[in-house]
Amino acid sequence: MFKSLVPKDKIFFEIFDRISTNVHKGGQLLAQMLTEQDKYAEFAQALKTLEHETDQVIHNLLSHLHKTFVTPIDREDIHQLACRLDDVLDLTEAASSRLNLYCPLVVHSEAVQLTAVLVESCKLVKEMVGLLHDMKNREPLLALTVEINRLEDEADHIRRSTLARLFREEKDPFELIKWKDVLEYIERATDRCEDVANICEGIVLENT
């Protein structure tokens, strides 16, 4: 009763919008990176800068959380959502830094396809986070959860089938190791997108 009478700080949703926008931008940068091999260092640096900027935004959000008495959603949900969004961008940046470090000789079409799945997942995550502004958006938000879960399954299939093919066909063991590492980071980023979706689903179910 008392909690319902205290004004709720809406700035958290605005900060989440900014973080999710950066997460989507990170996925787009990685996708561009795979098409412009001569600019690996440039894209890797751009992603590193974006990741550092987002870390600061998340730090500010958590600092604000500690100073806020009443929050629009559960405090633990705010913390978990911030951490999982951060994980998506961290893993995306890690994939880009390894591409820049390894400079694989060939960019496989499956890597482009997997990254496209990540970009779509990040786009839907951004949309989901935006829907949290109004808990009346329950049905579209729950529908997005299903789609993000489907995309994670697709990403896992692409990674496994690509590795199976590379183990059969790739003659250079170093190239195999390079792509195994990069593909795993990209797929793990889609895993974290699924975690974000599940957290958002829990938030809307708890508040409607």
Instruction: Give the model confidence (pLDDT) of 36-91 as tens digits.
Output: 989 999 999 999 999 999 999 999 999 988 888 788 889 999 999 999 999 999 99
User: What sign has the CA pseudo-torsion 104, 106, 96, 78?
Assistant: negative
In the block, residue with structure tokens 């987002």:
54
In one-letter notation, the amino acid at residue 32 is Q
Counting DSSP H helices and E strands in the chain, the numbers are 7, 0
Q: φ and ψ at 68, to 5 degrees?
A: -100, 130
Could you report the per-residue pLDDT of 97-153, keeping only the tens digit for each? 999 999 999 999 999 999 999 999 999 999 999 999 888 889 999 999 999 999 999
Which letter, b or e, does each residue of 63-89 get, where b requires 16 or more Cβ atoms within 10 Å of its Cβ? eebeeeeebbbeeebbebbbbbbbbbb
User: What sign has the CA pseudo-torsion 198, 144, 120, 153?
Assistant: positive
**Looking at the domain assignment, is residue 98 inside a domain?**
yes
User: In degrees, to the nearest 5, what angle opens at C-alpha 122 toward C-alphas 176 and 76?
Assistant: 110
What Rg value do the Cα atoms of the chain yield, rounded?
18
pTM of the predicted model as reported, rounded to 2 decimal places: 0.94
**Looking at the domain assignment, is residue 106 inside a domain?**
yes
Mean pLDDT along residues 151-160 = 98
Domain harbouring 96, CATH code:
1.20.58.220
**Looking at the domain assignment, is residue 3 inside a domain?**
no
Q: Which domain holds residue 191?
A: 8-206
**Looking at the domain assignment, is residue 22 inside a domain?**
yes
**Looking at the domain assignment, is residue 72 inside a domain?**
yes
- Please give the C-alpha separations between residue 82 and each of 69, 142, 154, 163, 194, in angstroms, as whole numbers: 18, 19, 25, 31, 14
**Looking at the domain assignment, is residue 2 inside a domain?**
no
8-state DSSP, 7: P
**Looking at the domain assignment, is residue 151 inside a domain?**
yes
In the chain, how many domains are there?
A: 1
Residue 5 confidence (pLDDT): 41
**Looking at the domain assignment, is residue 1 inside a domain?**
no
- Report the candidate in 35, 46, 133 with the shortest Cα–Cα distance to residue 93: 46
